Amino acid sequence: MNLQSPHLSIEMTQEIFYCKEALHLESGEILPEFQLSFTTQGQLNDKKDNVVWVLHALTGDANPQEWWAGLIGEDKFYDPSRHFIICANFLGSCYGSTQPLSVNPGTGKPYYYDFPNLTTRDIAASMDKLRLHLGLDQIDTVIGGSLGGQVALEWAYTLKERLNNAIIIASNAKASPWIIGFNETQRMAIESDQTWGSMDAKAGKKGLETARAIGMLSYRHPQTFIQHQSETEEKRDNFKISSYLRYQGMKLANRFNALSYWTLSKAMDSHDLGRARGGTAAALAKIQCKVLSIGIDTDLLFTFVESRFISLHVPKGTYREISSLYGHDAFLIEYEQLQYILQSFYLENNHSIRT
């Protein structure tokens, strides 16, 4: 029981950070200005050592209390009565941050297909502008899964001694051809939608449905579907898994847009911590903070081998593994194991943050 907040009432604040400074992107392009939607919950303590910055995955938003409800929130592992919890919607995403449907200040019209290519390094750089805006010199923990883990790793590299812990879940130091291939097939699905190319917020919506259905196969494991979508009677058609994938496609297409999906999937592909830094091993060797890399035994997309690679090459690395039926998406589901792993990590590292 959280005695400080018996009625679970610590307010969450949602704001927009407007950055009027240009962001110079890795591609050489420039975003003349941008905005990030972000939330904070809890208070920065006097020692300013309780900042937990949460980074979302491909289709998440700035409300981890919703999509990571088992980990973030009052009476949860990261508790706003102790931690100052920050989460920003990624640049390129469609939950309040600058994205392809935003107005290009140069033309006065939405960017649509002129929105620049972003990399995970660019997304981390935009996040750092928010950190400076908030006046935070020190972050205790950055934590993210999947694309969120990629961005967290990039940020950990540049934050240097300003970061104590990076928790990188179901992620990697460099996008594998397998991941890029999955993303490419999803973009092909979007491209094959006849509305793709039109200047319309709903362009590519049907294609996005297919893209998400393909994506779902990579976010889960064959065993997930044997468990949850097996037929109980003999059938020749209309299988459960078919309606499940169609439903998941529609669900995503109703809350996301294809242009943002395109942009963020390209960012995921771009991920290479070692680019222009002498390769991934050399770049990982320069990360100064403690790194907890968590793999998932059934992850078919970001394999546990890639997660372990991170911990083996950073100077202060720990590797832990989640065992799950759910494949890659287990990082959004297996709360008990996550809490245990996190608790042990902080205890083993005799860490000041109270958990």
Ligand X SMILES: CC(=O)SCCNC(=O)CCNC(=O)[C@H](O)C(C)(C)COP(=O)(O)OP(=O)(O)OC[C@H]1O[C@@H](n2cnc3c(N)ncnc32)[C@H](O)[C@@H]1OP(=O)(O)O
Ligand Y SMILES: N[C@@H](CCO)C(=O)O
Binding site residues, ligand Y, CB under 6 A: 57-60, 146, 219, 328-329
Q: In angstroms, rounded to a whole number, what is the distance separating the alpha carbons of residues 344 and 355? A: 10
212 is in an annotated binding site: yes
Known catalytic membership, residue 27: no
Give the nearer residue to ligand Y in terms of CB position, either 83 or 328.
328
| Angstrom distances, CA of residue 11 to CA of 54, 136, 186 | 17, 20, 38
- Kindly state the smallest distance separating residue 80's Cβ from ligand X, in Å: 19
| Catalytic residue status for 324 | no
Q: Which of 48, 82, 162, 240 binds ligand X (CB under 6 A)?
A: 240
Apex 340 CA angle, 336 and 345, nearest 5: 150
119 three-class SS: coil
User: Closest distance between ligand Y and the C-beta of residue 145, in Å?
Assistant: 6
Which of the residues 221, 299, 307, 324 is marked catalytic? 299
- Among 329, 334, 337, 346, contact with ligand X (rule: CB under 6 A): 329
List CB contacts of 32: < 8 A, sequence separation 6 or more.
Answer: 22, 105, 106
328 a catalytic residue: yes
Question: Closest Cα partner for 260 from 94, 102, 105, 124?
Answer: 94
Q: Going by C-beta distance under 8 Å and a sequence separation of 6 or more, which residues neighbour residue 19? A: 33, 34, 35, 36, 126, 129, 130, 133
Q: Which is nearer to ligand Y, 251 or 354 (CB)?
A: 251
**Does residue 110 interact with ligand X by CB under 6 A?**
no
- For residue 330, the minimal CB distance to ligand Y (Å) is 10
**Is the CB of 44 or the CB of 325 nearer to ligand Y?**
325
Region near ligand X per CB under 6 A, out of 45-53, 75-83, 163-171, 243-251: 243-251
For position 109 contacting ligand X by CB under 6 A, the verdict is no
Q: Is 61 in the site for ligand X (CB under 6 A)?
A: yes
> Looking at beta carbons only, is 170 or 283 nearer to ligand X?
170
Options 83, 221, 271, 328, the catalytic residue:
328
- Spatial neighbors of 55 by CB under 8 A, at least 6 apart, are 87, 90, 127, 142, 143, 144, 148, 149, 151, 152, 155
**In angstroms, what is the minimal distance from the CB of 48 to ligand X?**
29
> What radius of gyration do the chain's Cα atoms show?
20
Q: What 8-state DSSP symbol labels residue 259?
A: H
Instruction: Spot the catalytic one: 97, 102, 146, 311.
Output: 146
230/352 with CB nearer ligand X: 230
* Residue 172 CA: distances (Å) to CA of 102, 264, 294: 30, 16, 10
Q: Provide the phi-psi class of 350: left if phi over 0, else alpha when psi is between -120 and 50, else beta.
A: left
Distance (Å, rounded) from C-alpha 239 to C-alpha 241?
Answer: 5
Q: Are 209 and 253 in contact (CB under 8 A)?
A: yes
Pick between residue 31 and residue 296 the one whose CB is nearest to ligand Y.
296
Which of ligand X, ligand Y, none does 221 bind, CB closer than 5 to 8 A by kind? none
Among 33, 44, 49, 67, binds ligand X (CB under 6 A): 67
Amino acid making up residue 58: L
Residue 209 interacts with ligand X (CB under 6 A)? no
Which residues contribute to the annotated binding site for substrate? Answer: 212, 329
Which residues contribute to the annotated binding site? Answer: 212, 329
Q: Which residues bind ligand X (CB under 6 A)?
A: 56-57, 59-61, 67, 229, 240, 243-244, 247-248, 255, 329, 332-333
Q: Catalytic residue numbers?
A: 146, 299, 328
